Amino acid sequence: MLGVRLTAAYDGAGFAGFAAQPGQRTVQGALSDAASAVSGHAVLVRGCSRTDSGVHAEGQVVAFATARELPPERWVAALNSQLADDVAVRDAVSCAPDYEPRFDAVDKTYRYLLHVAEVRDPLLRGRAFHLGRLLRGGRSLDLDAMRAAAALLEGTHDFRSFRAAADARENTVRTLLSVTLEPGHAGDPALWAIEVCGTAFMLNMVRILAGTLVEVGRGKLSVDDVAALLRGEGSRADAGMTAPAHGLTLLRVTLGRAQASPPAP
């Protein structure tokens, strides 16, 4: 068997998340079906990030084992011809057949988009969280307070208050390498990007971090409140809302390349 590692992009709107589930259209299912069709045998692709239902990706990493011998660059066109237009393979390289992208990921970067405007924008629909009525009296968000809170989130902390109740993992300590805010993203003054890079995440963690930063920007939570949550004072209910899935995109994954083999000839 040969191994193939892919970078994939998708619009999350049409998928019940990444992870395969019976009777649901999922990204893992769609990519596995395409890889199976090209391979001529059943394939289950392994992913790097189990993105929630509705979450987008520009740089999800998946890998699979196949009996089909194809130069890696041929896999891109072969798989894309099998895929619907809301998911695409961007590049392909050879890897070990048992390569596990999840274990090779050094860090992952997510971007959360806020649409900071009273009136909705039809062209940002499904891509950014429209704050609308959350902006009282047409006011914007307090960028300085949000940046101060973002700086506190960086580093190694107990993020137990920033995960979904359904996440039952015992170790809730995680390391965020950077949390940055970019107002005016993509040239649109009303579009604010929150970019979070970390080594590992818990269920809904980035969406809860985004929701918490929104509450800091609105003055509903203070920077001190966030500091207290990171000290383990309080619980999930004291952090911000889980911001909606459609504002979130998995941008890229840094791989250790420990298990990746050189490109096929």
Binding site for its own copies (CB under 8 A): 9-11, 56, 58, 76, 80, 85-91, 119-123, 125, 127, 185-187, 249
Q: Which of 65/92 has CB closer to its own copies? A: 92
The whole-angstrom separation of Cα 126 and Cα 113 is 10
Smallest distance from its own copies to CB 11, Å? 5
Q: Say whether 52 is catalytic.
A: yes
Cα dihedral: 28, 31, 34, 39 (round 10)? -90
Q: Which is catalytic among the residues 11, 52, 104, 225?
A: 52
Give just the sign of the alpha carbon dihedral 12, 16, 20, 22.
negative
Write out the two tokens for 172.
Answer: 């809730």
Smallest distance from its own copies to CB 237, Å? 30
Smallest distance from its own copies to CB 222, Å? 31
The whole-angstrom separation of Cα 186 and Cα 205 is 24
Asked if 180 and 150 touch (Cβ cutoff 8 Å), the reply is: yes
Smallest distance from its own copies to CB 99, Å? 22
Single out the residue of 175, 172, 164 nearest to residue 200, CA to CA: 175
Q: Which of 130/157 has CB closer to its own copies? A: 130
Write out the two tokens for 146.
Answer: 């949000």
Q: Which of 125/231 has CB closer to its own copies? A: 125
The whole-angstrom separation of Cα 7 and Cα 62 is 7
Q: Which of 149/190 has CB closer to its own copies? A: 190
Q: Which residues are part of the catalytic machinery?
A: 52
